[in-house]
Amino acid sequence: MSAEIKDLKTGTTTVGIITKNGVVLAADMKATMGHLSYDKEAKKIYKITNKIAVTNAGSVGDSLTVIRFLRSHAKLYETDRETEISPRALSTFISNLLNANRYFPYVVQFIVGGKIKEPQLFEITPYGGVLKRERFATSGSGTELALATLDQNYKKGMTEDEGILLAVKAIRASKKRDIYSGGRSISITVIDDRGVRELSEKEVQEFINKVKKRK
């Protein structure tokens, strides 16, 4: 008897927000495998260079493979050209990589955020489409829920703290209604003139408490 192979449903919610002086990336921490809540502390935001980070949605194995490619390519780019790779250049590399494998695709979706001279944010579709975002970006199964929160609350020129609060609010909205988003807490990474900085669990909890109080 041949074994029946079924696709395993996965999901997540990640967001990127452009603020006055940088970019805020946020993600839930739940990893699913079919009907299982497989991990409640999953990592979904990755530092690529000192000025660029990405969020991932989709297959964990595929995501980590592509992220290894990105880190290697960024180092080669900067060594060869003696200049920092930009978020746009990195997004183009991801686009070429995913499009070249479209018949046997990497099941992934990325948000690329960074700041060289100015904050930049890009969404990369699984087949290599590059979408430049001027305000915010979302990915994963909780996209619609997060998008509604971002649409209603985003304003141009937000401070870093305002951007983090909005990111927390968007992820919390998806965690509440999307069964594939969740986890123990929320991951937050800030990219500004100081580089890529991941908020500690204590810092994130402080922002979560602020959002709760404002309800």
Give me the active site residues, please: 12
CA 66 from chain centre, in angstroms, equals 14
Calculate Rg over the CA atoms of the chain. Answer: 17
As a dihedral over the C-alpha atoms of residue 166, residue 172, residue 177, residue 179, rounded to 10 degrees, the angle is 130
From 88, 78, 143, 146, select the one nearest 112 (Cα to Cα).
Answer: 88
Per-residue buried b or exposed e for 7-36, using 16+ beta carbons within 10 Å of the residue's own CB: eeebbbbbbbbbbebbbbbbbbbbbbeeee
Q: Which two tokens stand for residue 107?
A: 């099941």
